[in-house]
Structure 1
């Protein structure tokens, strides 16, 4: 497996959340980041609510056009 070195800048609060989540899942910070990049982390409640709202608006728009 090839390894790539990636340097990113993140804010301190996000770093703390990532670090805490890594500890919760018994992973290294690198493993936690990879887990999230692979999509193992569920979307936030905010994103889920936003997606539901967008879907509802789309359904209403489709219903009006038919």
Structure 2
């Protein structure tokens, strides 16, 4: 299993915590839910996901 560490500002962290509570999930589960469903509103997160997908494709090609 890979580990991903993302630094977020305090405002985004509070929004994620609030959404996690609203969905009755842990913070980690809320992040996984958003990443898994494609619910990405941040351009930074979109770029990060694109980079991760590209790295995964390169790894598979080897």
TM category, shorter: 0.5 to 0.7
Gaps of 5+ in 2: 42-62
Count, aligned residues:
41
After superposition, the CA RMSD in angstroms is 1.8
Moved over 3 A (4+): none
More helix by share: 2
Of the three residues 17, 32, 35, the one matched with 2:33 is 35
The structure whose Rg is larger is: 1
Gaps of 5+ in 1: 45-66
- SS of the equivalent of 1:31 reads helix
Q: State TM-score, norm by structure 1.
A: 0.53
